[in-house]
Amino acid sequence: MALSVYESNTNQRFVTSLIKTRWRCLCDHICASEISDSCKPLKKRSRASTDVEMASSTYRDTSDSDSRGLSDLQVGFGKQVDSPSATADADVSDVQSVDSSLSRRGTGMSRKDTVCQICESSGDSLIPCEGECCKHFHLECLGLTSFPDGKFICVECKTGEHPCFSCKVSGTDVKRCSVGACGKFYHEACVRKFPTAIFESKGFRCPQHCCSACCMEKDIHKASKGRMMRCLRCPVAYHSGDACIAAGSIFVSSYVLICSNHSKRSSNSSSAVNVGFCFVCARGLIVQDHSDPMFSSYAYKSHYLLNESNRAELMKLPMIPSSSASKKKCEKGGRLLCCESCPASFHPECLSIEMPEGCWNCNDCKAGKKLHYKQIVWVKLGNYRWWPAEICNPRSVPLNIQGLKHDLGDFPVFFFGSHDYYWVHQGRVFPYVEGDKSFAEGQTSINKTFKKALEEAAKRFQELKAQRESKEALEIEKNSRKPPPYKHIKANKVIGKVQIQVADLSEIPRCNCKPADENPCGLESECLNRMLQYECHPQVCPAGERCQNQCFTKRLYPDAEIIKTERRGWGLRTKRSIKKGEFVNEYVGELIDEEECRLRIKRAHENSVTNFYMLTVTKDRIIDAGPKGNYSRFMNHSCNPNCETQKWTVNGDVRVGLFALCDIPAGMELTFNYNLDCLGNGRTECHCGADNCSGFLGVRPKSACASTTEEKAKNAKLKQKRRKIKTEPKQLHEDHCFQCGDSGELVMCDRKDCPKAYHLLCLNLPQPPYGKWECPWHQCGECSGAAVSFCEFCPRSFCKDHEKGALVPSALEGRLCCSEHDPVSPVSPEYWSKIKCKLESQDHGEEVKE
C-alpha cells in the first residue's frame, strides 16, 4: 500500500514521513538482494537474452539543472551480463557503509541556505549568531530548549578567538574575509596559499567566492561569477553545474556541500588501483577478463615497483595501446611510480625525477584536479578489464542505485554496453581520451558487450564534446558583446603602503590670470600653472570660477564610447572633435607600489592573464587600471598616436592625464604610445597599423629616414639572396639506402653536402621525421656526439674520443671503413660492381700467368 501511494504522488511536494520511511526500508531490502545476486559467480546465459535486455535498458542523460528526475526504475542492477558491475565479487570490500546522516542529507535539498555548524545538517530550529562568524546552530546542538532573549552570540565571537578555516587553529591573529555575509577567518599565510584568494585594499576575498574547477582552467573572470556551492569543511567552492562540482561530493543544502576531499579513503593508501603502464610514454588498457592473482596483487599500500620479471609477466596480458602509444611504443620496462590517489603510473625518468620514498601523488592530484559529472572514464572493478563508463550525478540515477551503500567520495557510474550502474571512487577511475575506441581494433578476445561499450563510449564522448564546444562558443559570443568585467571608479584608489599627497594651500602656486581675460587659464592662454603642468586650485587661482585649468578636479572629459576593434580588442572612440592640447581623460586605477606590482604580474602569469593596465608614475607609485579604472583603460597603443600621457600636479599629488597631440575629429579612435617596459625575453606584437609601426610593443617607432634606409637595405638583401639562389647548385642525393644498399622510398639527409639516403625501416622510424633532419652518419655511434671520422661503406662514425683504431683502410680501395667491412666487401650495389670488375681482372691476370 505504501509503495502504490508513493508512486502515485512522486510529483507532489509533500509526502508523509511514514511513507518515506517504509519506502526507504523497501528499497534497502531490494538493493541488498540485488547486490547479493550481483556478487554471485558469472553464469552462462543466452547472448540473445542479453542483447534484448541491453536494448530495453536506455541511458538517461544527466542535465546541469537541479531537477531530480528519480522516477526511472527501469535499470536492473543485478543483471548477470559480461560487465564489471555484474561480477563485482572482488570489489565488495571497496563498498563502505555510508554514514546515514550524510546519506539522508545528500538526497534532499533544503529551502534555506543555513546549516548547523555542529551536526552539519539543516532544519527549522536554527539560530544565527549575530557576531562576526555568521554561523548557524541547532538549539539542541547548543543544549538549549528555547530561543534566547535578545541577541545570540556564539562562544567564538564572545572570546574573539576564531579558528582558521584552513588549518583549523584558533587564535586572535586571524583575519576575516572582506565579504560581508561570509564570516570565515584565516591566517594570512594560510589564505595566501590558495590561488583563488583575491587580495584587495580592504582585505581579502577568501577562496570560497571563486570556483576551484574554473580556476584550474585559468579562467579567473568566469571563476568568480555565478552561483556557488561551498564546502562546509574547507575553503573550496564550485559552480552549481555538473561541469564544475567534484564527483563524490555530498549535497547538504542548495548552496552547501561536503567536497570529496573529506573522503575516508583519503587516508587509506590501498584504495587506488594503479595501471601497469606509464601514462607518459605508453598509455594502454587491460582488455581481457583475467583473474590472475599475479595481476591483482599489484595494488600495494604504498607506491609499488615493477621489476623486469613481473613486468614481463604483466606484458603477456593483452593490452590495448592508445592512439599516442601506437606512434611511440614503450619498451623501457623498469620501475613504475604509482600515484596514491588515482590509477596513474609513471616511469620516474619520464617525469625527470628520482624514485621517491614513501607515498607519492601525481601532479594532477597535488593540484586538486577532480573528476566531474558527465565525464567519460575508464573504471576498474575486481579482476575484470577496464570498462568505459560515464560519471552520473547521484540525484539523476534510479532510486535503487541511490540506495546502494556508498561513502563520501563515491560516485555512481553508468557502464556502456551493459547499461549497469555502480558506485566507485577516484582511485578506480581515470579519464577517457579521444581515440580510445581504436584500442580494441584487431583484438579477437573482445566480446560483443565490450565492443558495444567502446562504440557507445566513443559516441557519447563526441556528444559531450560537441555540447561543451557549443556552450563555449555561445559564451565567447556573449562575452564578445561587452568588454571584460571591471569596476568603474572616478578617482585613484590607494592599495597598501602608497599614500596620496595633499598640499597646503600656501604651497600651491598662483598664476597671473585674471577673471576678465577671454579664456582665463585656458588652452591658448599664458597661464603659468598650465605651462608648468600644475592644476589651479579654486581657492587660490585669481580667475576664480572662470578658471579653465581645473580639468582633473572637475573631470571635464570629452564624450567617448567603448568600441570593438578588428585586431586590437576593445578601444575608445571620441564622440566629438578634440583640439590639439585639449585634456582627454585621466588615467585612473589602483595606486600600488613596486612590490605589489610584481606580485600581481606573477599572479597574472600563473593564471595565464596576458592583458596588463599598469602605468608607472614614480618608482613607488604605479597605477593599475586592470581591476578598477575608468574609460581611459580601453585606449589602445599606437606607434603614431593622437594622444600622450602627461604628469600633472593636482593639489600636491602627481596624477597622469591624457592630452591630444593633434586635432582629433569626431568618430576617431583615441590612442597613445604605451612605451612598454617588457619583463623577460617575450615581446608582444603590435597591430596598430601605423606607417612607422615598430612591429612590437616597447620598441621605438621608426622615423621616416629610418624606414627609408631599412627598406633599401631589405631590397639589397633580397637581390643578394636571389643571385645566390641562382648560382647555388642543386644538392644531389644517392638513389640507394646507405644502410642496406637497396633502392625504394628513401629519407634524405638535410645536412649540407650530405648525399646519403635511407629507408625508414633501416632507421627504425615509423614515419618520416618532422623538420630539418640529419642522418646518423653525423653522430658518433658510441656517444652520439659530433662525428669527425666516417666509415665510407655504412652509417657508422666516430667522434674525436672514439676514432682511435676504429677505422682502417679498405682492402679493396684503400678508403676508410669500420671493422665490419674489412675483409668483408661493401654492400652497396655500385660498390659490388666495382669489386666484381676488380676480381675478374685479377682472375684473368692469374690465367695469363699460368
Q: Give yes or no for a contact between 152 and 143, defined as CB atoms under 8 angstroms apart.
A: no
For the residues of 517-570, what is the DSSP string, one character each?
A: SSSTT-TTS--HHHHTTBPPPTTT-TTGGG-S--HHHHT-PPPEEEEE-SSS-E
pLDDT of residue 638: 92
Confidence grade of residue 705 (pLDDT, cut at 50, 70, 90): low
pLDDT for residue 97 is more than 50? no
Q: Which CATH architecture group holds 487-697?
A: Beta Complex (2.170)
pLDDT for residue 833 is more than 70? no
- Identify the helix (H) or strand (E) that includes residue 618: strand 614-618
Winning range, highest mean pLDDT, from 274-278, 288-292, 360-364: 360-364
Q: What is the average pLDDT across 635-641? A: 92
Amino acid at 277: F
pLDDT of residue 731: 55
pLDDT of residue 44: 29
> From CA 635, how far away is CA 726, in angstroms rounded?
49
pLDDT of residue 634: 94
pLDDT of residue 84: 53
Residues 172-205 pLDDT 10s: 889 999 888 888 999 989 998 888 888 876 788 8
The more confidently predicted of residues 550 and 813 is: 550
pLDDT for residue 730 is more than 80? no
- Domain limits of the chain? 487-697
Query: At 323, is the secondary structure helix, strand, or coil?
Result: coil
Return mean pLDDT, the chain: 74
C-alpha cell at 110: 533544503
> From CA 367, how far away is CA 606, in angstroms rounded?
13
C-alpha cell at 515: 577673471
> From CA 187, how far away is CA 177, in angstroms rounded?
11
Confidence grade of residue 723 (pLDDT, cut at 50, 70, 90): low
pLDDT for residue 654 is more than 90? yes
pLDDT for residue 688 is more than 50? yes
- Closest by alpha carbon to 638, among 563, 573, 697, 565? 697
> From CA 396, how far away is CA 742, in angstroms rounded?
65
Residue 96 has what DSSP assignment?
P
The more confidently predicted of residues 83 and 460 is: 460
The backbone torsions φ and ψ at residue 193, rounded to the nearest 5 degrees and listed phi first, read -75, -20
Q: What is the average pLDDT across 328-347? A: 74
Confidence grade of residue 649 (pLDDT, cut at 50, 70, 90): very high
Q: What is the average pLDDT across 491-504? A: 90
- Percent of the chain past pLDDT 90, that is, above it, reads 25
C-alpha cell at 27: 528499497
pLDDT of residue 636: 93
Residues 102-151 pLDDT 10s: 333 333 333 345 888 888 888 777 888 888 888 889 888 888 888 888 88
pLDDT for residue 35 is more than 60? no
Residues 381-423 pLDDT 10s: 887 788 999 999 998 999 999 999 898 999 999 999 999 999 9
pLDDT for residue 162 is more than 70? yes
pLDDT for residue 359 is more than 50? yes
Confidence grade of residue 682 (pLDDT, cut at 50, 70, 90): low
pLDDT for residue 660 is more than 90? yes
pLDDT for residue 294 is more than 60? no
Kindly report the number of other CB atoms within 10 A of residue 585's CB atom: 25
The backbone torsions φ and ψ at residue 322, rounded to the nearest 5 degrees and listed phi first, read -80, 175
- Closest by alpha carbon to 419, among 63, 89, 69, 81? 81
User: What pTM was computed for the model?
Assistant: 0.56
Q: Give yes or no for a contact between 364 and 294, defined as CB atoms under 8 angstroms apart.
A: no
- Closest by alpha carbon to 289, among 49, 436, 90? 90
Residues 757-805 pLDDT 10s: 888 888 877 778 877 888 888 888 888 788 888 888 888 888 888 888 7
pLDDT of residue 601: 86
pLDDT of residue 729: 52
Distances (CA, A) of 255 to 28, 162, 302, 372, 461: 28, 23, 37, 18, 30
Q: What is the average pLDDT across 327-343? A: 68
pLDDT for residue 5 is more than 80? no
Worst-scoring range by mean pLDDT, 220-234, 440-454, 576-590, 603-617? 440-454
pLDDT of residue 415: 93
pLDDT for residue 550 is more than 90? yes
pLDDT of residue 436: 67
Q: What is the average pLDDT across 615-624? A: 90
- Closest by alpha carbon to 508, among 481, 478, 538? 538
Residues 297-311 pLDDT 10s: 333 222 223 333 333
Helices H / strands E in the chain, number of each: 20, 40
